[in-house]
């Protein structure tokens, strides 16, 4: 096993989200063109983050046997993607993070994939330069699934619908860390251009080309920053419109964009609204930030996958089989001077009765339709 194989694997995976393979082949570009001079940028203009900052954010480490034919073969173990915990045993990330083709581009074969999830902020030991021990908190994934319509070779730039979304299912639940909450259907309607978002990831902070190693201390370190949605589509959005903005790109593949929704119904107002997918154009994020997959566009698919593994008994945690709704806010204390009879009289005059909401999705979604929602907006 040589260092060059580790770096080749890392470079090929970087290319998967920077330049769509279909366009590269169609235009006759050579292999080096897949990773240009501005490839592998990550949280740009961000700041260092600890494991306690956005604690539901984590990283994916891949261990596998890589056979590159005449280029060599051997075991690899390296950080590959940023991710987000959305249930004690479920991690949300990009589909290309777990797609074998995004690591080999058909130039080799990846076997015996072992994927683990960690929250460790400093993963420089897993930067692809060597094989290091697993982080102490690394949790193995027993299964992973990509969206059924995901196709690496159809991945395009700009704002489109690439279905670049996947789920990891962990062998043991992570119960000492808060998970992220997904936007409700009503909150999804409030996502808009200019909306403030927080971005998190472990990717490169300095541009490199080809298989060039990034400078020490500029890769595999958790970063964060505040930015905004610059362009919004039905299934994707682009973060950060100019070079001075905090933005992210393919080095942060799979990582989250968080937004806040003010809602008196819930005690928690932060939601994961985006998952880093691909570069916006051929400038490869040097001028504009990368593109996220909108989480709200795939709520039904996510919920179905979570429930299916509870129904067949394979998930490690099923206290809530589907998407976990945000915790309800504490009710406002009643004024001591209020007469309970006044409430009954108001209900009678309004022609309605107060009935408990059922716990299923239909019940709480119905309530959401009656609640006034607010959203933070910047710019």
Q: Where are the domains of the chain?
A: 3-300
61 forms beta bridges with: 79, 116
pLDDT value at 139 more than 70: yes
**What's the whole-model pTM score?**
0.80
pLDDT value of residue 213: 66
Quick one: 193 exposed, middle or buried, by C-beta within 10 A (0-12, 13-18, 19+)?
Answer: middle
pLDDT band with cut points at 50, 70 and 90 for residue 121: very high
Q: 90-93 and 73-87: which strand pairing?
A: antiparallel
pLDDT value of residue 248: 76
pLDDT band with cut points at 50, 70 and 90 for residue 8: low
Tell me what the pLDDT averaged over the chain comes to: 80
Q: Tell me if residue 192 falls in helix, strand or coil.
A: coil
pLDDT value of residue 379: 42
pLDDT value of residue 201: 94
Cα 275-258-266 angle, rounded to 5 deg: 125
pLDDT value of residue 54: 99
Share of the chain above pLDDT 70, in %: 73
pLDDT value at 93 more than 50: yes
Alpha carbon distance 20, 278 (integer Å): 9
* Residue showing tokens 């479920």: 90
Instruction: Take residue 125 and report the two structure tokens written for it.
Output: 């030991």
Mean pLDDT value across residues 21-42: 36
Alpha carbon distance 310, 195 (integer Å): 35
Considering only 80-84, 100-104, 146-150, which range has the smallest mean pLDDT? 100-104
pLDDT band with cut points at 50, 70 and 90 for residue 352: very low
- Could you confirm whether domain 3-300 is CATH 2.40.10.10? yes
Alpha carbon distance 161, 15 (integer Å): 19
pLDDT band with cut points at 50, 70 and 90 for residue 243: confident
pLDDT value at 19 more than 70: no
Q: Count the neighbouring beta carbons within 10 Å of the beta carbon of residue 58.
A: 32
pLDDT band with cut points at 50, 70 and 90 for residue 315: very high
pLDDT value of residue 81: 95
**What pLDDT digit, counting tens, does each position of 146-160 carry?**
999 999 999 999 999
28 forms beta bridges with: none
Q: 90-93 and 291-294: which strand pairing?
A: unpaired
Residue 25 CB partners (closer than 8 Å, separation 6+): none
Residue 336 CB partners (closer than 8 Å, separation 6+): none
Alpha carbon distance 97, 198 (integer Å): 21
Residue 355 CB partners (closer than 8 Å, separation 6+): none
DSSP 270-312: EEEEEEEEE-SSTTTTSSS--EEEEGGGGHHHHHHHHHHHHHT
Alpha carbon distance 329, 353 (integer Å): 22
Nearest to 156 by CA among 41, 17, 295: 17
pLDDT value at 348 more than 50: no
**What pLDDT digit, counting tens, does each position of 153-210 carry?**
999 999 999 999 999 999 999 999 999 999 999 999 999 999 999 999 998 776 555 4
pLDDT band with cut points at 50, 70 and 90 for residue 359: very low
Alpha carbon distance 280, 291 (integer Å): 6
Nearest to 9 by CA among 83, 63, 84: 63
Which DSSP helix (H) or strand (E) runs through 141?
Answer: strand 139-146
């Amino acid at each position: 096993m040589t260092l060059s194989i580790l770096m080749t694997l890392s470079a090929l995976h970087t290319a998967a989200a920077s330049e769509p393979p279909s366009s590269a082949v169609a235009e006759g570009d050579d292999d080096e063109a897949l990773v240009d001079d501005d490839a592998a940028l990550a949280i740009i203009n961000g700041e260092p983050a600890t494991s306690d900052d956005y604690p539901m954010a984590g990283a994916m480490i891949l261990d596998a046997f890589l056979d590159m034919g005449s280029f060599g073969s051997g075991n690899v173990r390296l950080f590959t993607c940023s991710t987000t915990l959305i249930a004690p045993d479920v991690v949300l990330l990009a589909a290309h993070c777990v797609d074998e083709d995004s690591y080999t581009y058909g130039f080799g074969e990846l076997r015996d994939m072992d994927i683990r999830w960690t929250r460790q902020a400093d993963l420089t030991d897993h930067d692809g330069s060597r094989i290091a021990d697993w982080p102490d908190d690394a949790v193995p994934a027993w299964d992973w699934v990509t969206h059924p319509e995901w196709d690496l070779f159809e991945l395009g730039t700009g704002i489109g619908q690439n279905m670049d979304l996947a789920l990891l299912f962990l062998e043991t639940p992570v119960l000492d860390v808060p998970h992220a909450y997904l936007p409700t259907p009503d909150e999804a309607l409030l996502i808009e251009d200019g909306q403030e978002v927080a971005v998190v990831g472990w990717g490169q902070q300095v541009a490199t080309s080809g298989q060039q190693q990034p400078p020490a201390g500029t890769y595999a370190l958790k970063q964060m920053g505040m930015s905004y949605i610059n362009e919004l589509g039905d299934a994707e959005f682009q973060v950060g419109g100019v070079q001075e903005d905090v933005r992210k790109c393919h080095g942060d593949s799979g990582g989250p964009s968080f937004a806040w929704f003010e809602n008196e119904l819930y005690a928690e107002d932060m939601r994961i609204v985006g998952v880093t997918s691909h570069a916006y154009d051929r400038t490869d994020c040097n001028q504009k930030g990368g593109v996220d997959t909108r989480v709200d566009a795939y709520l039904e698919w996510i919920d179905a996958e979570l429930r299916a593994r509870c129904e067949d008994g394979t998930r490690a945690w099923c206290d809530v089989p589907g998407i976990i709704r945000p915790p309800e806010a504490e009710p406002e204390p009643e004024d001591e001077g209020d007469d309970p009879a006044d409430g009954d009289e108001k209900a009678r005059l309004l022609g309605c009765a107060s009935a408990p909401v059922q716990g299923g999705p239909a019940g709480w979604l119905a309530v959401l339709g009656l609640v006034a929602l607010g959203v933070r907006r910047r710019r």
